[in-house]
Amino acid sequence: MKISIITAVYNGEKYIRDTIESILSQKGDFELEYIIRDGCSTDRTLEILEEYKDRCIIISQKDGSPMEAINAGMDMATGDIGAWLNADDIYLPGTLQKVVDGFQKHPEKLWCYGRCNIINSKNIEIRKPITLYKNIISYYYSKNILLCENYINQPATFWKMDLWRQVSNLSYTYKGTWDYELWFEMAKISRAFHIRNNLSSFRRHSESISENYFERQFTEELEISKKYGNQIHYFIHKINIKLRAFIYKRI
C-alpha cells in the first residue's frame, strides 16, 4: 500500500524540519510518497527543504492559498491513501502503519480519523481538557454530532485517494475551515471509521491561523453546519461555539 502525504508551506522555517522528520521517520509495511508545495518562501524554508530533496518531492512556486497548494499536491499524488499535514504539525511514531492497519481491517471504508493532541511552540502538550473532550465525543463516528461540534482533527485524518477524486479537491469558499467542509463532502459518499490512537500533534503558536483567527473559523463552522444540517444542528453548534470562544479567550 502506498501513502501520499502533502505539506503546503510558506515561510515555515521554525517548524518545517519537525514536520518533515515526523513523516520521513515513519516505518512500516507501506510505501511513502511525500510532496512538499512551497509558496516561494523568503526565509530559510527552501534551504531546509534542500536537505531533503532526495527523499521527497519539492515544488516551489507561487500559489494563491494553502488550499490551492494542497489541491495541487493531491493532483500529483500517486498513493492509495492520502492526507495533508500542515507545516507546523507532526505525526507521532507509528502513525502511518496504524492507518494502513485500519484500512486493511475496514476495507469497505474510504476515510478515517484518529486522535490528536495539542502542543505549543516547544513541543509541550497543552489544553489537555480540550483534547479529552474531543476524544470522548469522537469515540464513535456520528455525522449528527459532527454537525454540532467539529470533533475531527485534520492532522489525524486520512482517506483513500479514490474518495478524494470523487470529492474533487478542497473548496475555496472558506478561508479557515476548509477541512470541516471536506468532512461533509466525504460523508456523502462514505462513513468514516475511528482509529482510537494518538496519531498526530496539532501545534498552536502565536503565528498559527487557529490562534489568531479562531473567531473567523467559528463563524465559518456555523455556516457549514447550517449548509449541511438543519436548524437543530445549527442551534447546538452555535451554543458550542460560544462556549469554545469563551474558553479560548481565557486560555
Rounded CA-CA distance 36/173 in Å is: 23
pLDDT at 159 over 90: yes
- What's the rounded mean pLDDT across residues 26-52? 97
Specify burial of residue 84 (Cβ count, 10 A radius: 0-12, 13-18, 19+): buried
- What's the rounded mean pLDDT across residues 46-65? 95
pLDDT at 244 over 90: no
Contact 51, 22 (CB under 8 A): no
Contact 19, 83 (CB under 8 A): no
Contact 62, 141 (CB under 8 A): no
pLDDT at 206: 67
Q: pLDDT category, 243, cuts 50, 70, 90?
A: confident
pLDDT at 225: 95
pLDDT at 186 over 60: yes
pLDDT at 62 over 70: yes
**pTM, two decimal places:** 0.94
Work out the percent of the chain whose per-residue pLDDT is above 90. Answer: 82
pLDDT at 247: 64
Span 70-80, pLDDT tens digits? 999 999 999 99
Here the CATH number for the domain that contains residue 88 is 3.90.550.10
Q: Three cell numbers at 210?
A: 487557529
Question: Radius of gyration (Cα) for the chain, nearest Å?
Answer: 17
Q: Does residue 142 sit in helix, strand or coil?
A: coil
Specify burial of residue 93 (Cβ count, 10 A radius: 0-12, 13-18, 19+): exposed
- What's the rounded mean pLDDT across residues 166-188? 92
Span 98-149, pLDDT tens digits? 999 999 999 999 999 999 999 999 999 999 988 999 999 999 999 999 999 9
Enclosing domain of residue 24: 2-250
Give the number of domains in the chain: 1
pLDDT at 213: 56
pLDDT at 207 over 90: no
